[in-house]
Amino acid sequence: MRMKLLPLATIAAGLLVSLAAPSTFTAVPNALSNGQPLPSLAPMLEQVNPAVVNIATYTTTAVRNPLLDDPFFRRFFNVPNRQRYRRTRSAGSGVVIDAENGYIVTNNHVVARADDIDITLSDGRVLEAELIGTDQAVDLALLQAPADGLIEIEFGDSDALRVGDFVVAIGNPFGLNQTVTSGIVSALGRSGLGFEGFEDFIQTDASINPGNSGGALVDLSGALIGVNAALLSPAGANIGIGFAIPSNLVRAITDQIVRHGEVRRGYLGLEVQNLDPNLAEAFDTKDQDGVVVVSVASGGAAAGEIETGDVITRVGGREVQEIGDFHSQTAAVFIGDELKVELLRKGRKHQVTIAIEDDLQEQVGGEHIDSRLANTELQNFRNEDEVGAGVLVTAIAQGSRAWTAGLRKGDVIVAANRKEVGELKDLREAIGVQAQQILLRIYRSGRFGYVSIR
């Protein structure tokens, strides 16, 4: 039997009749039954929509044709030996968080590798934006645009969210400007999703599709409680499972970028794992809440305060039930902070305070180590199964001084100027020993090698 599609007006008329008809259920209030206007999100959205912008990025990439690599082919067809380039465009969303200074937050993956960034406001204006800083670990980036006539959004408290709270997602999915979808908070503190970096997501069933990335997730008062970041879908379209970065983490990260031009995250030097019933019994804890410390780096901030075998139950005032809770708290631990940690040691409760000092940084821009490492991102690295410890190159700009010398993303620096490197502090000290060159010993794809940067 074929289904007959009814006009939308017919469906709406039938719905109104059914609501007005007598029923054993309480009638839904509407304009026809009591003279009051229907509930609507429109007044809130009129205030919030102007703070959400469309982001267009433009990237120039080299186009390689294998035939043009053949000198005979070029001579035979008289093809000039010139490099060809292609300019590509992609789209995303952003949120104005500071109208006076023109600051706009979005996802790092929206603007990564972009040569030019344009933002389109709700009133149709198109402005050029400048990238101020990024945090690849949390997938956030901060842009700055001319501040004339911008409207900012108000931050909400993401820690106050509860599962079941109504939320609204605003963005530009598939290039459709100012699209609004609604839903509820499906879960909090989602982690273990396989994304890179720290994971502490708000899960929502408000539709989040490609192009929504970097847009706003707001509560019913219009306050920002998250920045849309990802969707879970086998086909690349929404199936009711979307994720947003909590607003409290967004505020902390953007404050760091404004103040320092980067995120000066502290290096705790801890590796942890989840408890299971056997481990909980072995470490004399009554339940499985918490994470057990399996490694403490000698150069980390936690050295001397936390020991292997400790079971961490609270970090910074928040309960830690599993690894995701631990990582979500350490994502917002910065240089200069004092972090309070509650733990169980041999069955007894302890509380320690860890001071995060200047030389205990988790990740830095290479220029803060040496000018010859500019346009690289460096991070402390530990993998006992392979190289042990070192400094990981998490990003490097093509054409930069270090890239030209042979350094690549994914390289692990294990020595510098013939001095062993186990963390960023060691790298900074080793490079200061010799001014003429930087001789790096690296580990790449199972093999060791050297890179010399002058």
Q: Tell me, which fold does domain 370-453 have in CATH?
A: Pdz3 Domain (2.30.42)
Tokens 């952003």: give the residue: 94
Q: Closest Cα partner for 213 from 169, 152, 251?
A: 169
Mean pLDDT of 199-223: 88
CATH fold for the domain made of 158-260: Thrombin, subunit H (2.40.10)
Residues near 5 by beta carbon (within 8 Å), at least 6 away in sequence: none
Q: Quick one: pLDDT band at residue 96, thresholds 50, 70, 90?
A: very high
Of the two residues 216 and 38, the one the predictor is more confident about is 216
| Range from 72-86, 88-102, 146-160, 391-405 carrying the lowest mean pLDDT | 72-86
Q: Where are the chain's structural domains?
A: 52-75+83-144, 158-260, 270-355, 370-453
Q: Are 52-75+83-144 and 158-260 the same fold in CATH?
A: yes
pLDDT digits (tens, 9 = 90+) for 221-245: 999 999 998 766 555 555 668 899 9
CATH fold group of domain 52-75+83-144: Thrombin, subunit H (2.40.10)
Burial class (CB in 10 A: 0-12, 13-18, 19+), 266: buried
Q: Residues 153-173: pLDDT tens digits?
A: 999 999 899 999 999 999 887
Task: Give the span between the Cα atoms of 449 and 454, in whole angstroms.
Answer: 17
Catalytic center residues: 109, 139, 213
How far apart CA 46 and CA 57 sit, in angstroms, is 27
Q: Which fold has domain 270-355?
A: Pdz3 Domain (2.30.42)
